[in-house]
Amino acid sequence: MAMHNAWPMKALSIKNLTKVYSNGIKALRGVNFDVEEGDFFALLGPNGAGKTTTIGIITSLVNKTEGEVKVFGHDIDTELMAAKACIGVVPQEINLNMFDKLVNIVVNQAGFYGIPKRKALIRAEECLKQMQLWDRRQDIARNLSGGMKRRLMIARALVHSPRLLILDEPTAGVDIEIRRSMWRFLREINRAGTTIILTTHYLEEAESLCRHVAIVDEGKIIEYDAMDQILRKLKEEIFMLNLREPVDRVPDLGAYQVRLSAPHELEAQITRDQSLNGLFAELSAAGLEVISMRNKANRLEELFFRLTERKNNHESEIRSPGIKSPEIKSPGAIA
Amino acid sequence: MIVRTQIIGFRTIVRKEYSRVIRIWVQTMIPPAITMTLYFVIFGSIIGKRVGQMGGFEYMHYIAPGLIMMSVITNSYGNVVSSFFSAKYNRHLEEMLVAPLPNFYIVLGYVAGGVVRGLLVGGVVTIVAMFFTHLRISSISVTISIVVLTSFVFSLAGLLNAMLAKKFDDIAIIPSFVLAPLTYLGGVFYSISLLPDLAQRASMMNPILYMVNAFRYGMLGISDINIWLAYAIIIVFSVSLFSVCLVLMNRGVGIRH
Ligand SMILES: Nc1ncnc2c1ncn2[C@@H]1O[C@H](COP(=O)(O)OP(=O)(O)OP(=O)(O)O)[C@@H](O)[C@H]1O
Ligand SMILES: [Mg+2]
């Protein structure tokens, strides 16, 4: 587990990273970002942005074209083994030996990291229990459900207690209950000192878990900041207001822009210099009673959408809901 | 310290390979036992009686070392080519690639797995042979060293094939179009002294001939070739194939994009 050094250390430092695949695709065009030790870091971006490529280079599954990568100060060009020893990785695509027993998969992974068998068995038990797979330990990987396979890959990545855990879409296809418990677990090991880098297409997940964010698009970092700073860049938010009585025309609410999306539902846009109090004052003055309210879209999602779709978004500000809803877009299905 | 952890990694690969051979024993151990029994029955008992003597031995006795060697060669090769290729194809090779385990040990681990399978199958075929003929060993050190080294060479060759293969066809082509002809023409069933001059000279180009004859020398004390030359050839192949595999692995050919 990570120790706290006198000087804060960078868990990961990436400079001018480029990648051109053999088919000519420029997957990364000069990526720069750092992850501090102890951070919970989100690496976000649309399909094909270059997230998996970046992770592939960090974990030496992909050869970089140019640039520099350091893991806890170990350059992957000169101290590859030391760098690798710090990392645990959960890949996006399932890469389990389907005919191997769960316990063997985890124990062998420990062995590849140089952990003696006896200790490996103890660690394997701990990790499989944490991922609620211990009672399936004698089963072969093929007999697991999709979500279980993902949990098995997490158990495998944790077996050598890495200082840096990298998760490439760990919650894709995982049910709500397990996802919640996975979040709890990740928060816990992060609090205990493990630095975590997470990619996900569920932006509410990134918003609730991560403290720093980098958004990649077309092989470049287009946003890189603390989560709260990033969210502050959102100039306006849209709220859906549920009315007790239906209305037949858009009421006049002064400076507040509203739209009627259904007889019982108002869509209100609030800019940063306006306030909810002001909106409610106008609503009360108009004699409208609001029984419930929700954000139209997750805030990070809203921002993400604006950043990444800016170039080809000619729609009006108020769009039909759910375009970028993670429930509709299945991550990875198009990749 | 570093080396100790790397040895653990190496041992893990060997153990994993060994348990794979044992787990799928019906595919790994039974077919060579059946094929070799058929060879002994057909060439040894039925046809062999009419052949009479070869190199001063009963024909059955003469071909036994060749058949053992043939199964060692095919199984060492086959083990590594299929295990490594499927690990690459199904991507669980990544488990090793992300770990702090130098490529040297990954290559050595897979090759050791091939040697283990080769020797296990060689042992089974030897037991089969004992039902048909009285085996004896003229030099135990030559017998053991040649079988281990040969198994090493063909495990490396299998690894090379698997690294360069892009699809399943590619791992079937070399064994049937290259390995099988060379083995059958490599003096398993006959002494090259029976061949016309030109064919003899062509046979001398076949490295498998040297391995089979050196092994036969270890068991029966007779050989068509100089066994020191056989050692030299095997060692040159071992070193060069190992280096090629390691270089390809370091470059990530076929395994890293
Ligand atoms: N092995 C490969 N060979 C050639 N091109 C590749 C390879 N892997 C990825 N690419 C290309 O590199 C680009 C970045 O892909 P990458 O997998 O890094 O995206 P991603 O951000 O992880 O996307 P997703 O959210 O869909 O997982 C894409 O254009 C992809 O087609
Ligand atoms: Mg990806």
Query: Which 283-312 residues of chain A touch chain B by CB within 8 A?
Result: none
Q: Residue A109 and residue B99: Cβ atoms within 8 Å? A: yes
**Min distance A29 CA to chain B CA atoms (Å):** 17
Relative to beta strand A212-217, strand A40-44 is: parallel
Confidence of residue B188 (pLDDT cuts 50, 70, 90): confident
Residue located via tokens 């280096």: B243
Residues with CB under 6 A from ligand 1: A 21, 23, 25, 27, 45, 47-53, 92, 332, 335; B 257
* ipTM score of complex: 0.89
A61 contacts chain B (CB < 8 A): yes
pLDDT: is A159 or A228 the higher one? A159
Contacts of A251 (CB under 8 A, 6+ apart): A258, A266, A286, A288
The verdict on B98 touching A (C-beta cutoff 8 Å) is: yes
Q: Which CATH architecture has domain A10-231?
A: 3-Layer(aba) Sandwich (3.40)
Residue A298's pLDDT band (cuts 50, 70, 90): low
**Residue B35 burial class via C-beta count within 10 angstroms: exposed 0-12, middle 13-18, buried 19 and up:** middle
Identify the pLDDT of residue A161. 95
Residues B71, B122: contact at Cβ < 8 Å? yes
Nearest residue to A56 (alpha-carbon basis) of B257, B253, B246, B96: B257
pLDDT at B82 over 90: yes
Is the pLDDT at A165 greater than 90? The verdict is yes
CB B54, CB B191: distance < 8 Å? yes
Contacts of A80 in chain B (CB under 8 A): 100
> Quick one: pLDDT at residue A311?
56
The mean pLDDT of B218-229, rounded to a whole number, is: 89
Q: Which of B92, B214, B11, B249 is nearest to A99 (CA)?
A: B92
pLDDT score recorded for residue A99: 92
* Segments of chain A assigned to CATH 3.40.50.300: 10-231
Contact A111 B100 (CB under 8 A): no
State the smallest CA–CA distance between residue B72 and chain A in angstroms: 26
Q: Which of B46, B217, B254 is nearest to B132 (CA)?
A: B46
> How far are the Cα atoms of A108, A172, B144, B167, B220 from residue B14, in angstroms, in the given order?
11, 34, 20, 25, 32
Contact across the interface for B87 and A97, Cβ inside 8 Å: yes
Q: CA of B84 to nearest chain A CA: how many angstroms apart? A: 12
Bridge-based pairing of strands A195-199 and A40-44 is parallel
A166 bridge partner residues? A89, A197
Tell me the per-residue pLDDT of A68-121, one tens digit each, with 9 for 90 and over.
999 999 999 999 999 999 999 999 999 999 999 999 999 999 999 999 999 999
The tally of CA atoms less than 13 A away on the side-chain side of residue B188 is 21
Question: A236-295: which CATH architecture?
Answer: 2-Layer Sandwich (3.30)
**Residue contact B12–A112, C-beta within 8 A:** yes
pLDDT mean across residues, chain B: 91
Total-model pTM: 0.85
Q: So what's the pLDDT on residue A294?
A: 83
Name the residue with higher pLDDT: B181 or A312: B181
pLDDT of residue B174: 87
**Looking at residue A247, what is its pLDDT?**
85
Residue A7: band (very low, low, confident or very high) from pLDDT cuts 50, 70, 90:
low
Q: Which amino acid is at B136?
A: R
Spatial separation of the C-alpha atoms in residues A233 and A309, rounded to whole Å: 16
| Ligand 2 ion: residues within 5 Å (CB) | A 51-52, 92
pLDDT for A71: 96
Quick one: pLDDT at residue A187?
A: 95
